[in-house]
């Protein structure tokens, strides 16, 4: 159960309100079924003021991450658990992609099983090398 928060009441414009309703529906579905969803903000006719209003309404929670892989990606959980703002920056730090992910964890942060298997092999090899070096 989330602690009560004293946040300002949401009073967005029509377009932001529509996006917020969609997020609320997808969040309820995530809670009910575990099914994640995403809303591509770049595909919507949002003006800078709409995007700012949406960002203000969703707020920021306690979790943030910055990735530097093929450009910079900024992620933060909003004040609503399970609702993530994911922004990918391109050349000149311009927004290349931006979406709201409704999920337990953003897709970009999930480690692929092949990467985990490779890490396990590397760790075993590193440990074997360390143990061999200490037994010389």
Set out the domains of the chain in order of their start, with CATH numbers.
14-134 (3.30.1370.140)
Kindly tell me if the per-residue pLDDT of 40 is higher than 60. yes
This prediction has a pTM of 0.78
Kindly tell me if the per-residue pLDDT of 121 is higher than 60. yes
DSSP codes joined into one string, 105-125: S-GGGSPPHHHHHHHHHHHHH
Distance CA 77, CA 58 (A): 9
pLDDT grade for 108, boundaries at 50, 70 and 90: confident
E strand spans, 57-135: 64-68, 72-77, 83-89, 95-102
Better-scored residue on pLDDT, 28 or 129: 28
């Amino acid at each position: 159960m989330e602690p009560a928060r004293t946040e300002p009441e949401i009073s967005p414009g029509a377009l932001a309100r529509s996006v917020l309703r969609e997020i609320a529906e997808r969040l309820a579905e995530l809670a009910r079924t575990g099914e994640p969803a995403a809303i591509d903000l770049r595909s919507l006719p949002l003006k800078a003021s709409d995007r700012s209003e949406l960002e203000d309404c969703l707020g920021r929670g306690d979790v943030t991450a910055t990735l530097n892989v093929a450009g910079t990606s900024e992620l933060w959980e909003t004040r609503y658990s399970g609702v993530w703002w994911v922004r990918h920056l391109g050349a000149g730090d311009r927004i290349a992609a931006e979406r709201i992910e409704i999920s337990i964890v953003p897709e970009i942060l999930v480690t692929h099983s092949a990467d985990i298997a490779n890490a396990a092999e590397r760790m075993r090899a590193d440990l074997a090398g360390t143990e061999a070096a200490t037994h010389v």
